[in-house]
Amino acid sequence: MPLILLIIWETTCRAGVVSPIMLPSPSAIVIKWVEWLRSGELLVDVLGSLGRVTGGFLLGAVLALPLGLFMGASPRIYEYFNPIVQVLRPIPPIAWIPMSILWFGLGNPPAIFLISLGAFFPILMNTIAGVQNVDGIYLRAARNLGAGRGTMFRRVILPAATPYILAGIRIGIGTAFIVVIVSEMIAVNNGLGYRILEAREFMWSDKIIAGMVTIGLLGLAIDQIMNALNNYLLRWHRGLDT
Amino acid sequence: MDYISITNLSKKFEGNGQIVPALQGINLTLSRGEFACLLGPSGCGKSTLLNAVAGFIQPSSGEIVVDGRPVIEPGPERGVVFQEYAIFPWMTVYRNIAFGLEIQGSSATETAGRVDALLDKLGLREFRDRFPKDLSGGMRQRVAIARLLAIDSPVMLMDEPFGALDALTRRTLQDELLRIWRESGKTILFVTHSIEESLYLANRIVVMTYRPGTIKHDQTVTMEYPRDPAGVEFNELKRELGRLVMEEQERHTRDEMKMV
């Protein structure tokens, strides 16, 4: 099916039915992609985008995880932080762009801020839910065996909440990926997001689509890595038996 | 010498604007090394009593003293085997059994030696590095028992631990529990609603009344082990205890009918 689609796409383009600006042919896109790769620019862009995703995601995760654990474990801390979380959470990271540029100027800092924001809330919400949903029987069993607070957190609550946390991380990475492209379009001058916007200026449709495909492939690769991590960390979980 | 002494224990639960008296005026003492069963229909407060001894719930009044110390919180000297499978699913069998020892700060070699010995003792050796999801219900309860043996809890509190097992697996585990009890001299408090199970295991059977839970009958069982469930004495006692338990079961049923 995808092959048939590609053939139809290629032949319509070659027949001159659509202008190459509106829809370049697949072969033109591939040629452009190889050219982009050989110039060395693609690598810089990919690494730039990945670097920002990684930095922003880690920052968001490092903040969200402990806060989520504490909010999930203590009703007092939950009550304290929940109102502000509920107000901030629905604001899409995109809406933070103007303020982040005012605060951090241009370049990587606002991009990383926005990405971390995008990753922060899904991880936070899922971590809270994960901790709150830990089956009480495990807490009782652990207390019975003499577990103190530290052991309880590290060896009982954290692993029990891992399925939720990983789901949150997955959503967080997805959001981070969306936000990195948007923030590169606005605040940075390299990266895949910047490059496809730049290509638009010159009407390089083939490069725009080559960039889009690259983003898609990177997303797929990250998802595969997450899948493998999931399967490893949750190898004890019944849900993964097939 | 009273090893476990429960004095004037009462527990009321509040919910939906109602106060349910779960336990009322329980007085019970156990000697070291006794195997006592709490027997009664559901709603008689037997699990509540066990949880109070475990330190999971605070009594409304009264006191529990174990080995000279009042019970105020859960502790490893009163190990619990839960009704549900409460071994940690994210740990391998080995890690589950080692958990309590590691908390106590036992060294890696010491832990390994101890755990491996228990794996052999309970027939779990080939499951050493498996996760609980790969284990049958019977195997999981073996792990739960091994987990307590590892930390050598002098008191074992068991809340219908074999209730979900098929009859044959249950008998096997009952036999193993008896063997462990007789070898180790542990004091066991075992909750069940099965008259036969209590007669097969315990040297003391405490029948409880339905709501509020009080002690209806305290039976010492002197039959030799291993006991024969088809034997005359076994069945005489079974009939007598059955009559007592069924009286309470009928009150339970009447209560349920009223609620509809």
- ipTM, interface predicted TM-score of the complex: 0.92
Q: What is the pLDDT of residue A242?
A: 42
State whether B91 and A236 contact (CB < 8 Å): yes
Cβ atoms within 10 A of the Cβ of A94, count?
Answer: 15
Partners of A232 on chain B (C-beta within 8 Å) are none
Q: What totals of helices (H) and strands (E) does chain A contain, helices first?
A: 11, 0
Residues 6+ apart with CB under 8 A from A200: A208
Q: Which of B86, B90, B132 sits opposite A141 (nearest CB)?
A: B86
Query: Minimal Cα distance from A149: which residue of B?
Result: B103
Q: Which of B75, B82, B92 sits opposite A141 (nearest CB)?
A: B82
Give SS3 for A145. coil
Is residue B187 within 8 A of residue B3, CB to CB? The reply is: yes
Partners of A155 on chain B (C-beta within 8 Å) are 88, 91, 99
Q: What is the pLDDT of residue B179?
A: 95
B120 has a chain A CB within 8 A of its CB = no
A169 has a chain B CB within 8 A of its CB = no
Partners of B75 on chain A (C-beta within 8 Å) are 144, 146
Would you call the peptide bond into A163 cis, given omega within 30 degrees of 0 as the criterion? no
State whether A140 and B78 contact (CB < 8 Å): no
pTM of the model: 0.88
Q: What is the pLDDT of residue A238?
A: 78
Distance from CA of B226 to the nearest CA of A (A): 31
10-residue averages of pLDDT along chain A (242 residues): 89 87 92 94 95 96 96 96 96 94 94 96 97 96 95 95 96 93 92 94 93 94 94 85 45
State whether A145 and B99 contact (CB < 8 Å): yes
Q: What is the pLDDT of residue B1?
A: 66
Q: Is the torsion defined by CA of A120, A123, A126, A132 positive or negative?
A: negative
B84 has a chain A CB within 8 A of its CB = yes
Q: What is the pLDDT of residue A19?
A: 87
Q: What is the pLDDT of residue B84?
A: 79
Partners of B92 on chain A (C-beta within 8 Å) are 236
Partners of B151 on chain A (C-beta within 8 Å) are 145-146
B255 has a chain A CB within 8 A of its CB = no
Query: Minimal Cα distance from B157: which residue of A?
Result: A144
Give chain B's residues under pLDDT 70.
Answer: 1, 260
Q: What is the pLDDT of residue A86?
A: 96
Cβ atoms within 10 A of the Cβ of B43, count?
Answer: 21
Q: What are the two backbone dihedrals, phi and then psi, of residue B10, each rounded to the nearest 5 degrees? A: -130, 150
Q: What is the pLDDT of residue B255?
A: 85
Q: How far apart are CA A68 and CA A56, in angstroms?
A: 18
The arrangement of strands across the sheet holding B2-15 comes to B18-31, B2-15, B61-66, B69-70
Q: Quick one: angle between helices A41-73 and A26-38, nearest 10? A: 90
